[in-house]
Copies of this chain bind each other. A is one copy, B any other.
Amino acid sequence: MQKPRNDIPTPSVRRLSLYLRELESLQNEEYDTIASGQLAEILGLTAAQVRKDLTYLGQFGRTGVGYEIPTLVKRLRKTLGADKTSKTLIVGVGNIGRAIATYSGFIDKQFELVALFDSDPKKIGKKIGRKADAISILPLKRLKPTIQKHKIRMAILTVPANDAQDVADRLIKAGIRGILNFAPIHIEAPDNVKIRSLDVATELEQLNFMTASR
């Protein structure tokens, strides 16, 4: 008996995201079609892998020609949910939080930054961002009402490691379904809440290891 698998493997999802971004920047170019090999070349992958990934979108490549870029972009957007903007919030307006908040506005338009939170009373009420779409920093007690009012699904967590689990718990209680965690600590969460951690220290350490030996 085969295990029925109709979801997309995590590594493929990551690459689909790369394809989308690359193709969007290619869209205004002269070509209106692209072959798996070309895309692979640009992104440092193999042609077979690109093709396999793209089959998760259904089949629509043209044999002997390649993939129609506009169609491909449309399908990628649809599959990844990039055809609608997703509301997000940031907790912790320190250096990293602020950097992400102001990061190329906000990120490719696909994500809308709805609110900023911090526990430091001195920061409350201050605004981040350029004039028109500057966003005020709110106290943590406003977390739950804000999340529920705007139906926010994802949060970016950029608080110190000591506070990370507490804040995560509050986010989860308030209904958040996904957390992008920058604190260098493991966040405990129920299965229906997804956590992704970006850990600069660990990445540096890995790089250090890879370049050290031999």
Spell out A's residues near B (CB within 8 Å).
7, 10, 13-14, 17-18, 21, 42-44, 79-82, 86, 88, 94-96, 98-100, 102-103, 107-108, 110-111, 153-154, 156, 177-180, 184, 186, 188, 194, 196, 198, 200-213
Task: Check if A107 sits within 8 Å of B196, measured CB to CB.
Answer: no
Task: Check if A186 sits within 8 Å of B82, measured CB to CB.
Answer: no
From B107, B156, B196, B209, contact of A206 by CB (8 A): B196
Q: How far is the CB of A163 from chain B (nearest CB, A)?
A: 14
Residues of B within 8 A of A7 (CB): 213
Residues of B within 8 A of A42 (CB): 186
From B102, B154, B194, B209, contact of A13 by CB (8 A): B209
From B81, B205, B213, contact of A212 by CB (8 A): B81
